[in-house]
Amino acid sequence: MRALLSRFLHSNTPPRPLAALVATGVLAACGGAEPPAPATEPRTVRVAPVESAPFASQVAAVGLLAPKDAARLSFKVGGVVESVRVEEGDPVRRGQVLASLKQTEIGSAVAQAREAADKARRDLDRARALYADGVTTEEQVQDLTTAHRVAQAALQGTEFNARYARIEAPADGVVLRRTVEPNELVQPGQPVLVVGGTARGWIVRTALADRDVVHAATGDPARVTFDAWPGRTFEGRVAVVSSAADAATGTFPIEVEVQPGDARFVSGLVAKVTLAPRGAQVASAPVVPIRALLEAEGDRANVFVVDPATSIASRVSVRIGRLGGEQVEVVDGLRLGQQVVTDGSAFLDDGEVVRIAGPVVASAARGAAAGVAPGARP
């Protein structure tokens, strides 16, 4: 067969159509040509329209949940830890002894101070008796009086330190952190336990940039969400707004009080806070779902826009603004009524033909799309 094909191809006679078809068949039979690749199905995506929605001036921040009263407890004096009587997560009662130091060295210091105070008192009593008999001078009595007072003050200081050689719970609460173990040597003021008091509720500690903190005030309402309770929103209010920036970050710390309701709060949960300053203006703005954004950085992001007529997805650079729940404001780059890809955009190429899952979502603002230019603010 190969000899016949070679003779046919090297012939000077122009091939006829039928002969060409035969040659093609022969080549295919001999393995000289690959079968055409099967057509690939378009990717399936979901879309949502660019809509106009009420958009209040809001501020978004991320913080950590903590009890309102959280105390870092430590010993006033250094020494060897004798016992730590609680574990992390244990509930505690006000006045409960939580940890203590070994008393050998501390007790010895108290005993020495007490003996010195007793001796100073005896010396003073003897001097007063001698002064009454005219044996000693008034100056000596005054000096011994001063020495007695100094000894008494030293004793009081030593006894005070001895009382703070153990740690007591300052209020009802829960142990958040334990940092030492028995027989460890600790220095004065070294944190031993962190106890959170729940009597005054829970707060979210977060921080705002300078452009946002000037619009925040105590009493402003807030919405708080946690990944631990998806789909649930907790009501809160701004309790503290700092008037000075943090030296390390340049942001302004704030505290937001939040009510747990029937939820079980634990310290350290990551919270997403949305603040709505009182008196904020509410206006309409073009918005898209946050999940439609790709490669977001600062106020710039990319989205894929699908032309319903051709089903072609085009990558578009947009400028974004404020966040509002699950939506983000589009400042520039899109028109009302355009369809943006919300699911499946991560695998798309610019200009790729796609298949839209379900009917194309109609926008209530489609009729006004013609009169809204890209970048027009509400």
Taking residues 107-118, what's their average pLDDT? 92
Which of 134-138, 157-161, 333-337, 359-363 is least confident? 359-363
Strand partners, 353: 312
Phi, psi of 16 (to 5 degrees): -85, 160
Average pLDDT for the chain:
81
Coil, helix or strand for 331?
strand
pLDDT at 36 over 90: no
In this prediction, residue 118 has a pLDDT band, given cuts at 50, 70 and 90, of: very high
Which of 225-229, 249-253, 293-297, 370-374 is least confident? 370-374
Residue ranges per domain, the chain?
A: 1-37, 46-54+283-371, 59-67+197-275, 69-186
DSSP line for 42-81: PEEEEEEE-EEEEEE--EEEEEEEEEEEEEEEE-SS-EEE
The predicted-structure confidence for 66-109, as pLDDT tens digits, reads as follows 888 888 899 988 899 999 999 988 888 888 999 999 988 888 88
> At 258, which helix (H) or strand (E)?
strand 252-258
pLDDT at position 368: 36
The predicted-structure confidence for 165-182, as pLDDT tens digits, reads as follows 899 998 888 888 899 999
pLDDT at position 67: 86
Q: Say how far apart CA 61 and CA 215 lie, in whole Å.
A: 14
pLDDT at 12 over 60: no
pLDDT at 140 over 70: yes
In this prediction, residue 365 has a pLDDT band, given cuts at 50, 70 and 90, of: very low
Task: List Cβ neighbours of 111 (8 Å cut-off, separation of 6 or more).
Answer: none
* Residue, of 190 and 323, whose pLDDT is higher: 190
pLDDT at 326 over 90: no
Q: Say how far apart CA 172 and CA 305 lie, in whole Å.
A: 57
Q: Say how far apart CA 337 and CA 48 lie, in whole Å.
A: 9
pLDDT at 111 over 60: yes
pLDDT at position 359: 55
pLDDT at 25 over 50: no
- Provide the strand spans (E) within 184-325: 185-186, 191-208, 221-226, 233-241, 252-258, 270-275, 282-289, 294-297, 300-307, 312-324
* Residue, of 15 and 81, whose pLDDT is higher: 81
**How large a percentage of the chain has pLDDT more than 90?**
39
Task: Decide if 75 contacts 167 (C-beta within 8 A).
Answer: yes
Which of 18-32, 245-259, 316-330 is least confident? 18-32
pLDDT at position 283: 67
pLDDT at position 373: 33
> At 233, which helix (H) or strand (E)?
strand 233-241
pTM beyond 0.75: no
Which of 108-117, 299-308, 323-332 is least confident? 323-332
CATH class of 59-67+197-275: mainly beta
Kindly list the distances between the CA atom of residue 8 and the CA atoms of 11, 15, 127, 240, 269, in Å, as whole numbers in the listed order: 5, 9, 142, 93, 81
pLDDT at 22 over 60: no
pLDDT at 119 over 90: yes
Q: Is the domain 46-54+283-371 a CATH 3.40.50.1100 member?
A: no
Task: Decide if 308 contacts 360 (C-beta within 8 A).
Answer: yes
Q: Show the tokens assigned to 77.
A: 């004096």
Which of 7-11, 36-40, 283-287 is least confident? 7-11
pLDDT at position 96: 92
pLDDT at 376 over 50: no
pLDDT at position 16: 45
